[in-house]
Structure 1
Amino acid sequence: MRKSLLLTFCILSFTAQLYAQDHIYSQFFNAPVYLNPALTGQFEGDIRMNLIYRNQWSGLGGDLSYLSASADLNIPNFGGGLGLLFSRSNEGSAYLRKNNLAATYSYSVGGDDFVTSFGIQAGMASRQLDLNKLVFSDQIDASTGYIPGSITNAQLPTVNTRSYFDAGAGVNMVYRNFMGGIALHHLNSPNESFSDVQDKLPMRMVANASWRITLNPQFNFQNDDGVYLIPSVVYYRQAASSSVSMGAQFKYSSVNMGLWYRTSGTSTADAVVVSFIFDIFKGSKNGEKLRLGISHDATTSKINYTNTSGTTEASVGFEKYFPNSSSYSKFNGLRSYDFY
């Protein structure tokens, strides 16, 4: 009961302070299409598939889990890509669910040592709430807690499902060993309300930058093998809420280890994150791989790690060339995925 009440308090507190807020992934690099639609098709190969799952604050009662799955194509004939993105979230003991299915498209321009990609995203989202799972103040006794079988006198919404159109756009640039991008999600600020009162989903801005520092004596920014240190920073802002993730990855051939520090607001500590990525195999053609990722967030905010048990993420990525593919790289092999 204590954990359930704590979870409810956390959710209500965040709702009051942050309004509607999208989830973010600690392994942002393993959810590229979710991060920025301009990253659609930006990889070596013909097809890429990514799946990431986040189980947040597993030590609390209720459910805070998030999943994103994407599949995108690299189409060299016009230097861009096409993709599909599905996202699902489950939040709280009232089973607030959100599903989003979107198509993404990117187009790239550039030369031998730089490429700039422009992306758009459009799809439909639905939001559902199980009203029977909600507990109101007139169903709680001050000494014993929840009163079994009690019925609230609160006036509940007449609908528990909301569907709406959702759109986004972004741009990403790769210049030799530097990458930077910015994306704007929910450009149309859709209404998520279950009642007649407007509850618009605020636009979410994501800005990211990475620098790939070679630790090899002989440097070649087109070479994916070797030893690298990759510092990165990602900034999120949605309505009054902001967050910054900063850290670095140490990459050696098929192994990638990362250490991150995330803030909530301007300077409030949120979590320390440790990540590991393994490329299980690399095909005979450059870029083919099966990638497994795991990370864990150690909560450093006031909610603290003892109550939450932290957050765990797992991800799977797959890049492949089609049979009889020409393996053509229009921009000299420059792709954002080289930074992860």
Structure 2
Amino acid sequence: GGGVGLQFTRSSEGIAYLRKNNIAATYSYSVGGDDFVTSFGIQAGFTNRNIDLDKLVFADQIDASTGFIPGSSSSAQLPDISNRFYFDAGTGVNMVFRNFMAGASIYHINKPDESFTGVQSKLPMRIVGYASLKISLLSQYSYYEDDGMYVIPSVVYYQQGASQAFSAGAQLKYRSVNMGLWYRTSAQNTPDALVVSFIFDIFKNGKNGEKLRLGISHDATTSKINYTNTSGSTEASVGYEKYFPGSSSYNKFNGLRCYDFY
């Protein structure tokens, strides 16, 4: 069976409001049966990256004793452009066998140029690998059902350019509520952050996989750049999923296999 998706993401960083907006379409195709499924996916879309140049602060606007000089201007040469569009693409594979899931994905396969200055600055490919195990907390359990109570330990590995990171954690899932706690290391394998996540299904139709879900997570920095200085970072998401009859002849293909783990 196959599936399609549409994703929109937006991020904002720093006082200069470096913003990134991305819209991407996804197509996946699954093979297998009720016990084992392998899914292959491709993603393609466009990204807009922009920055407010007027809010940048340079060295000649800072006094060594008092800090930023109000009303000052800089002699620094500003970038030629503050707005950039580029195409971005990725691919991945996901495998589920009963209560075990593993997969890998590659983002930014085409290494798009993000530069504002005209000097080429390619975005390195990002490689992600992960594995999860769903453990029932109830004595009466069937992996075909999704309404029990579970602990789901997971590990995730990230690599982008010379940077690497590793996350490990667990989620507690009960029906339409999912709570998670994660630990993340930096590229130097030193503690980087604790992550708390919550996922809520506003409604869910178990027979056809239709659901509207809200998610929120917060990263609390534990590295030398401490939480007092950064206040961490917060992410929020809204997702809608629906199964279309006839897209698969298998019961567990109905938009539910990966959802069992989240």
Unaligned runs of 5+ in 1: 1-78
Counterparts of 2:9 and 2:202, CA distance in 1: 26
Q: Is the 8 A contact 2:63 2:69 kept in 1?
A: yes
Query: Does the C-alpha gap of structure 1 residues 267 and 227 become closer, same or farther in structure 2, counting only changes over 3 Å?
Result: same
Q: What is the aligned partner in structure 1 of residue 73 from structure 2?
A: 151
Matched residues in 2 for 1:141 and 1:159: separation? 28
Per the alignment, residue 6 of structure 2 pairs with 84
Contact 1:115–1:331 at 8 Å: present in 2 too? no
Cα distance in 1 between the residues matched to 2:247 and 2:56: 55
Q: TM-score, normalised by structure 1?
A: 0.70
**1:70-109 to 2 correspondences below 5 Å:** 79-109=1-31
Q: Give me the CA root mean square deviation.
A: 2.2
Q: Is the 1:122–1:167 contact (alpha carbons within 8 Å) kept by the matching residues of 2?
A: yes
* Higher deviation after alignment, 292-301 or 112-121: 292-301
Cα displacement (A) at 1:326: 4.4
Closer/same/farther in 2, CA of residues 326 and 245 from structure 1, 3 Å limit = same
Is this contact kept in 1: 2:141–2:148, CA < 8 A?
A: no
The superposition leaves residues 230-282 of structure 1 with CA deviations (integer Å, 9 ceiling, x where unpaired) of 11111111112222221111222233222211111142111122333333443
Structure 1's 104 and 224: CA in aligned 2 closer, same or farther, altered over 3 A? same
Residue 296 of structure 1 and its aligned partner are, at CA, apart by 3.1
Per the alignment, do residues 222 and 86 of structure 1 end up closer, same or farther by CA in structure 2, a change over 3 Å counting? same
Quickly say closer, same or farther: Cα 1:149–1:302, change in 2 above 3 A: same
Q: Partner of 2:194 in structure 1?
A: 272
Alignment-derived partner of residue 261 in structure 1:
183
The aligned length equals 259
Of 221, 228, 246 in structure 1, the residue corresponding to residue 143 of structure 2 is 221
Letter in 2 for 1:138: D
User: Could you tell me how far 1:128 is from its partner in structure 2?
Assistant: 1.4
Using the TM superposition, give the Cα deviation of residue 225 of structure 1 relative to its aligned residue in structure 2, in angstroms. 1.4
Distance 1:123 1:306 in 2: 36
The higher-RCO structure (CA 8 Å, 6+ apart) is 1
Residues in 2 aligned to 1:196 and 1:320: alpha-carbon distance in whole angstroms: 43
Amino acid at match of 2:189: S
Question: What residue in structure 1 maps to residue 129 of structure 2?
Answer: 207
Q: 3-state SS of the aligned residue for 1:337?
A: helix
Residue in structure 1 matching 2:33, options 111, 121, 124: 111
Which residue identity lines up with residue 157 of structure 2 in the other structure?
Answer: Y
Higher helix share: 1
2:228 partner amino acid: T
Instruction: Please say if residues 166 and 188 of structure 1, whose CA atoms lie closer than 8 Å, have aligned partners that are also in contact.
Output: yes
Question: Is the Cα–Cα contact under 8 Å of residues 294 and 313 in structure 1 kept in the other structure?
Answer: yes
What SS is found at the alignment partner of 1:333? helix
Structure-2 residue corresponding to 1:38: none
- Aligned pair 1:187/2:106, yes or no? no
2:58 partner amino acid? F
Counting aligned pairs with the same residue, the percent is 71
Aligned partner of 1:25 in structure 2 is none
Q: Is there any run of 5+ residues in structure 2 with no aligned partner, and where?
A: none
Give a deviation string over 1:24-67, Cα, whole Å, max 9, x none. Answer: xxxxxxxxxxxxxxxxxxxxxxxxxxxxxxxxxxxxxxxxxxxx
Say if 1:191 and 1:282 are closer, same or farther in 2 by CA, change over 3 A.
closer
Give, in whole Å, the separation in 2 of the partners of 1:178 and 1:217: 19
| Counterpart amino acid of residue 48 in structure 2 | S
Instruction: Check whether the contact 2:208–2:242 (CA below 8 A) recurs between aligned residues.
Output: no
Report deviation, 1:320: 4.4
Is 1:313 paired with 2:232?
A: no
- Deviations 1:214-240 (CA, angstroms, capped at 9, x unpaired): 223233211101121111111111112
1:162-198: CA deviations, max 9, x gaps?
A: 2222111111111111111111011011111122311
Change in 2 beyond 3 A, CA 1:294/1:158 = closer
The one-letter amino acid paired with 2:60 is D
Aligned residue in 1 for 2:251: 332
Please tell me the residue identity of whatever aligns with 1:300. T
Shift of 1:284: 6.6
The secondary structure found in structure 2 opposite 1:191 is coil
Residue 153 of structure 1: SS of its match in structure 2? coil
Matched residue type, 2:204: K
Residue 313 of structure 1, CA deviation? 3.4
- Shift in Å, 1:329: 5.1
Cα distance in structure 1, aligned partners of 2:113 and 2:34:
44
Give the aligned residue type for 1:103.
Answer: A
Change (3 A) 1:156 1:279: closer
Q: Deviations over 1:109-148 (max 9, x none)?
A: 1122111111111122222122221111112222232223
Q: Does the 8 A contact of 1:113 with 1:331 survive in 2?
A: no
